[in-house]
Amino acid sequence: MVMSSLVENNVVEFRTTFQPVLDQDGFLINQDDLVCREITDLSLMVIRTSKDHKKNAITIKDIFNAKLPESLSASLNDNGDNFLWISPDEIWLLHNRNNKDQLLEKFKSLPKGMSTTDSSGAYGILEFSGNNVDALLSRWMSYDLEGSLTIGKVVSTTCGQAPVCVYRNIQGNLLMMVRHSFSHYVAGLLKDSAKRI
């Protein structure tokens, strides 16, 4: 009997978080001045940093060619990878799903005291665009999205009762990372509220 390696036979299968509530064109909401769709080409990695801020900055620069994001902010490298500040010891890396193998190779270079986890399977990512985004989300979030969440800013907050992370990217669109376990709850809130905008 020949044993096969789990690693050699491992096939990654992407499953959408919001599929049952999306329309046939892949939109959660698609109306005048308010569009929301699931982003399926991005993956999310969590980088746990050390207590040494200077060491963290050097590591992120050397390995990923990116600036360590400041508090409540994000940075971007030449590959389009987004580094989101979540807390003093946690950075989220949003990257193109097709580059995952290259990033996993880079993570092997992380120094002692730093680690990474692939959290792509734990979160779905929604992208909002249009003039009515802030009006929709302000119904369910206490954070001042219009005044405080400017381009390049990131914050952990809640949408209704669900914990979420929101980020305004360089295009001015808002990305919301939602845990899979809360995805249908958040989708229900958003779809229902969008009808009244």
Residues 71 and 100 in one domain: yes
Number of domains in the chain: 2
Structural domain including 49 reads 42-118
Above 70 in pLDDT, residue 1?
Answer: no
For position 179, which CATH number holds? 3.30.1360.120
| Residue 46 belongs to a domain | yes
| Residue 1 belongs to a domain | no
Residues 143 and 103 in one domain: no
Q: Which of 118, 136, 152 is the last residue of a domain?
A: 118
Residue where the block lists tokens 């809640």: 158
Amino acid identity, position 78? D
Q: Which of 89, 118, 147 is the last residue of a domain?
A: 118
Residues 130 and 184 in one domain: yes
| Residue 151 belongs to a domain | yes
Q: Return the pLDDT at 103.
A: 82
Instruction: Name the pLDDT band for 15 (thresholds 50, 70, 90).
Output: low
Residues 113 and 171 in one domain: no
| Residue 4 belongs to a domain | no
| Residue 2 belongs to a domain | no
Tens digits of residue pLDDT in 173-194? 999 999 999 999 999 999 999 9
Residues 114 and 46 in one domain: yes
Q: Which of 99, 118, 137 is the last residue of a domain?
A: 118
| Residue 7 belongs to a domain | no
Residues 85 and 104 in one domain: yes
Cβ neighbours for 175, distance < 8 A, ≥ 6 positions apart: 39, 94, 125, 126, 127, 128, 166, 167, 168, 169
Tens digits of residue pLDDT in 77-93? 998 999 999 999 999 99
Q: Return the pLDDT at 17.
A: 72
pTM of the model: 0.86
Encode 88-119: b = buried (16+ Cβ within 10 Å), e = exposed.
eeebbbbbeeeeeeebeeebeebeeebebeee
Radius of gyration of the chain (CA): 18
Residues 87 and 129 in one domain: no
